[in-house]
Amino acid sequence: MTNKKNKNKTFQGMSYREIQRANSNNRNNLHKEDQRWLKDNGYKNIGWDDVIKLYQKIKDFLDKYQLQDLTLEELFLEADHIGNKYLSDQEIQEFNQKLAKEVNEIADEIDKQFPDTEIEIIDFSQKTKNKYTKNRNNQKSYKTIKF
């Protein structure tokens, strides 16, 4: 007799039932039109391959929702982060050095074009005059009396 080892398949560390459960829970977090789109395009939560395809498509939708909520600055930072995944540490360091050099050159050029000719002096030695009097013409005063 041959000895068969029963190996359970896993996808990203999850068993078939765990993926099904995750799909059901995550599908409820999708917009109604996206849920309808999944149904219309034949994504099912039955069968090993279909369960994985559905899991990946739901993940794509949820990632899209996260990107929709980001500000423009956060989108640029996210794009930079994604781009850095494909660069080595040395390439990233070289790029940052070139960027810093360019930024300094731009700052120098701005200083040449728009020099700061005004000098601002703040004198803290003099006391300020109290401009507000106790009873102004447009101001009413009230007195509180306790009984």
Note the pLDDT of residue 86: 85
Query: What is the C-alpha separation between 103 and 111, in angstroms, rounded?
Result: 12
Q: Residue 91 and residue 83: Cα distance in Å, rounded? A: 11
Domain boundaries, given as residue ranges, for the chain: 9-69, 71-116
137: DSSP letter: T
Dump pLDDT digits (tens) for 115-145. Answer: 877 777 777 776 655 555 555 556 555 555 5
pTM above 0.85, yes or no: no
Judge contact between 48 and 16, C-beta under 8 A.
Answer: yes
Residue with the bigger pLDDT between 106 and 78: it is 106
- Rounded to whole angstroms, the Cα distance separating 113 from 132 reads 43
